[in-house]
Structure 1
């Protein structure tokens, strides 16, 4: 049995996986949606980048999970990628869902065209948090009005330090057994770093004809990709 540890992107919590979890469990697999510190039901808990990495490692170790498939969506690909190399032989696979990837010494905002200046300014103006976005932010992503309303209602401001503090990697990402899911409606394809990793023997690419939040727009299809990645 695989154990899927599911980590959603910025501003989201474990609740974002509510429609994916039943498909995984119906297939006889373990599903462990995780809320990172400072978000959703853990709002108010101080968090930096390494806090989020430790959240994931603790979930795996405290539950004594084996055959773990770590899933990171959007921002959460950064802490998931770091946690993957820290859980040793418990790891079976990593799935990056239209996500950022960690680079040693680099932060989430490092990849932004302005070096993250606008994000950092927004965080400074909002008490140390990346603020919420309006419903219009989700237009054109294959989501219904009801799904957008649900995302907006459930979102919480994101702890800014997790976006500006650097990732810490001890070995290359290309050594991880990984699947990268590209959501085609999200616009630009995988960056050069992802493209390079996909040339290696351990990584593969899967396209989804939907937007950046497939756990809402295509939960059944997404769960099936997860199961295939785990070899189920």
Structure 2
């Protein structure tokens, strides 16, 4: 009788372990991460590593003329170039059911991507990112019509205060102003039907209420997207890469509200 109980116990233990393993395998996702302005895929290396350690497939896109592709930098690069970078990454790697995320300026890029290939996308995550309307550039969105007062333009390239080309790589680099002045298309009904999460990074000196007044947050609410917050500055992925990685996985189950 004791042997029967032992065998039964071992059977259910083995079944339980196998079930948990199967559940973990079924949760493996394909992430495509798009960085912000002047940065590169390097900025998401630590976050991507945490996702990969959990068995997920991670592609950290680096947009043309930035990061390790800085040798290709020129003033003719525009927003369409960067959208094509990510679209072609997804198509040529033959990716499906993609969890697509964009940080900061990356929100402009992923908006164009989902407008072109919504059938390849499972979920979209705007990480403290721009949320443009159809026919709007990032400068249009912020009503600036040009760069911030602390930035300058040289030879068709935008130089921000945090760009120090003399620094040891990896570092931020100048970026073509056409990427900021060109409007994005967001008119595909299939793209608008995708489930989207908007994540606002909340720095210590700002309240959630204050942060909720941003144009990006308000547009996300208007579109019925899920709103999440995460403690940290605008580059929270560098401050707490594990936390951001966990958050990105948690976002996948978010579903838009009816609008």
TM-score range normalised by the length of the shorter chain: 0.7 to 0.9
1:5 to 1:13, Cα distance in 2 relative to 1, 3 A: same
- Which of these residues, 66, 83, 88, is aligned with residue 53 of structure 1? 83
Tell me the distance in 1 between the aligned counterparts of 2:155 and 2:221.
39
1:87 and 2:117 matched:
yes
The aligned residue for residue 246 of structure 2 is 224
The aligned residue for residue 65 of structure 1 is 95
Measured on the aligned residues, the alpha-carbon RMSD in Å equals 2.5
Q: CA deviation at 1:11?
A: 0.6
> Structure 1: 5+ residue runs without aligned partners?
136-148
Query: Where does structure 1 differ by over 6 angstroms across 4 or more consecutive aligned residues?
Result: none
1:214 and 2:244 matched:
no
- Which of these residues, 7, 29, 51, is aligned with residue 24 of structure 1? 51
1:79-119 deviations in Å (ceiling 9; x for gaps):
11110132232100111110102222211111234332657
1:219 to 1:107, Cα distance in 2 relative to 1, 3 A: same
- Which of these residues, 129, 133, 136, is aligned with residue 157 of structure 2? 129
Tell me the distance in 2 between the aligned counterparts of 1:38 and 1:170.
27
User: What TM-score do you get using the length of structure 1 for normalisation?
Assistant: 0.83
Which has more radius of gyration? 2
- Which of these residues, 170, 176, 184, is aligned with residue 202 of structure 2? 184
> Structure 2: 5+ residue runs without aligned partners?
1-27, 255-259
In the comparison of the two structures, how many residue pairs are matched?
Answer: 214
Tell me the distance in 1 between the aligned counterparts of 2:87 and 2:162.
32
1:178-203 deviations in Å (ceiling 9; x for gaps):
111101118552534532432554x1
